[in-house]
Structure 1
Amino acid sequence: MDIHKLVFILLIVRLLLCCVDVALIRDHVKAQSIERRRSAYNIWTIHFVSPQLMYSMKNHSASGKEDIYSSGGNSLHHNTSQHEFDNWTILLTFNNEYFDFFQNWWWFFVRLDIPVKILVIAEDGDVFRKIMANYAEYAYVERSDLDIEEEMYFDTDARRKIAFSRISHILKYLENGINILYSDIDTVWLKNPFTYFTGSCDMWVQMEDETIYSTGFMAMLSNKKTFNFMQRWRQVLKYKLQDDRPVFNALLKYSHIRPCPLDENKFSSGPTYKRLTTSEREKAVVVHNTNFELAHVMKRERFKQWNLWNNESKAQDEDMEGLPREENVNDTRSEAAENLES
């Protein structure tokens, strides 16, 4: 055989082998990417470990105590069925200005012992880095396409943009068969809200008053009616950026969706909680610090007046500029673990 033909054939074979190698590498990388997404977000087969249990496991490991799983001990959510939360995800979205409110929300949330997935949407780079440094082990974190660092006053474009972006995030997960509980970050959860999502409803929504639905606390089932409703809501706001609440309420009147209003005293807005008696406040499930004229600092002071602010948080009265130091991160986690055990 001619030496030139032999070299040509060998080159062709080599080229084919390279193509096969590239295809195999591509498939392997794709498979790893899918597996990472499954593991991180717990959509398919990975059993979800609640943030509370992860805190406890870290504390046991650091103190040299026996591991919870290997010892056969009870998990922190022993009274709650995991199955009822398998298809629910809590969605939170905020920027760096409200990071302290997230810390406050988290402090109350971990004490409720709810084994549910948490998705945090970071609306600017600073808060994304802080969440990744402190909470990435306990929540799934996404970086928004937005970069809004200023305070989100009512009736500003910054707030409207975040509200519009929030709908897009909700739609993405509803489309993938995941039920979403969206909560504004200026809330405090005092009891497990999921036990109140009963009846033949597509959506459970907090009320601002007897006739107006709030868009700051909404639990949505993943079904065709809910998805179509959210799409229409998004389309109207895309056509004209405006306050999302009036549009939401107007669309509900002409929609086939079945909304269920949540008890106004149990799922209280700021003005509602303010007028509740002491005995009524003891029955509150979620307190939403709504008052469209209050700025960030004033909202924080109001939570303090109601004893709904975590006084143990190191960052509550600081500006929290830049990343927290690593020793502060570890201190915060160990303090949370100690608080949970006590």
Structure 2
Amino acid sequence: MAKRFSSREPLNNMQNSAIRFETNDTLVLSRKPLNDSRDWTILMTVNNGYLDFFRNWLWHFKKLNLSTSLIVVAQDDLIHKELMNSDVSILGEMTVERSVHVSINSSVNFQTQQFNMLVGKRPQHILDYLERGKNILYIDTDTVWLQAPFQYFTGDYDLWVQLDQGVSYCTGFMAVRTGANTIELIRAWRDRMIDLQNRMDDQNGFNGMVHNHESKVRIKGLDTKRFPDESQYFSNYNDKQREDAVVVHNNCIIGHASKLERFKHMKLWYEDKLNGTKLHD
């Protein structure tokens, strides 16, 4: 039976075998590979304006038959009610919590103040769970998983992050190993977004400060053949190249309708496959 919660689940039971606590309460990582889906917790933030994109992601995710835990942070009351009333058998094992930081229920466009307000809370949500000993894979709702990504989280790294245009980190797909140094990094990112007061989106905020922590935190930019940005997958790749994609990210295009049209054009939209299946009856 899947479990659902209207508020955050108490995290008293540390299940991450990569972590041990010494007698002085210092967190120590054993640096084991984190390429098993059970090593990770998927974290998403969703508002009602992008509920259909969340449904699309969930449909593709469930096809992979993974056992990874999923936490969804509802960013408005409408979607919180929708998810809490949904059929458990359709949602799978999911923890639903209501964000205490923001309440915006419409789809918002890139680089607007409301967009910056929504995404600016991202580091706080990631931080909440890193501090509870969970390795977090944060993903945007405008992604589609064609394969499981976990096998690519290898090497002696603290973060594995999608690249945007090959030159900057994309905060819409980032796997973060819990630990003192990564917690320090994400906390600094959170503080920077607070200081910016919604004048900048979270991705620019992250890229603007991450170099200050590179001596302590090792970051791996994911292979762009496997984790292409939108210009590669939608515009530049041929059908053969698209077969190598693990995660498709429908980013760098403004507007809900434009994203939807592009997913449908590439036959990556679940309603085209299931005639409008909903999360619940």
Q: Using structure 1 for the length normalisation, give the TM-score.
A: 0.67
SS of equivalent residue, structure 2 residue 44: strand
Change (3 A) 1:265 1:132: same
- The equivalent of 1:263 in structure 2 is 223
- The answer for unaligned runs of 5 or more in structure 2 is 16-34
2:97 aligned with 1:175, yes or no? no
2:252 aligned with 1:291, yes or no? yes
Change (3 A) 1:43 1:186: farther
Q: Larger helix proportion, structure 1 or 2?
A: 1
2:72 aligned with 1:106, yes or no? no
- The answer for unaligned runs of 5 or more in structure 1 is 1-32, 46-82, 317-323, 331-342
Equivalent residues of 1:103, 1:313 under 8 A apart: no
Deviations 1:250-276 (A, max 9, x none): 222221210000011211221110211
* Matched ranges for 1:1-342 at <5 A: 37=9, 43-44=13-14, 84-134=36-86, 138-145=93-100, 146-241=102-197, 242-255=200-213, 256-274=216-234, 275-292=236-253, 294-310=254-270, 311-313=272-274, 315=276, 329-330=280-281
Amino acid in structure 1 at the alignment position of 2:222? L
Amino acid in structure 2 at the alignment position of 1:99? L
Equivalent residues of 1:92, 1:183 under 8 A apart: yes
Amino acid in structure 2 at the alignment position of 1:227? I
Q: Larger strand proportion, structure 1 or 2?
A: 2
Greater Cα radius of gyration, structure 1 or 2 = 1
Equivalent residues of 2:41, 2:68 under 8 A apart: yes
Amino acid in structure 2 at the alignment position of 1:244? D
Tell which deviates more after alignment, 197-206 or 207-216: 207-216
Amino acid in structure 2 at the alignment position of 1:143? R
Deviations 1:297-341 (A, max 9, x none): 11011001111111245558xxxxxxx8xxx824xxxxxxxxxxx
Runs of 4+ in 1 over 6 A off after TM superposition: none
Size of the aligned set, in residue pairs, is: 247
CA RMSD of aligned residues (A): 2.4
Equivalent residues of 1:95, 1:122 under 8 A apart: yes
Equivalent residues of 1:104, 1:313 under 8 A apart: no
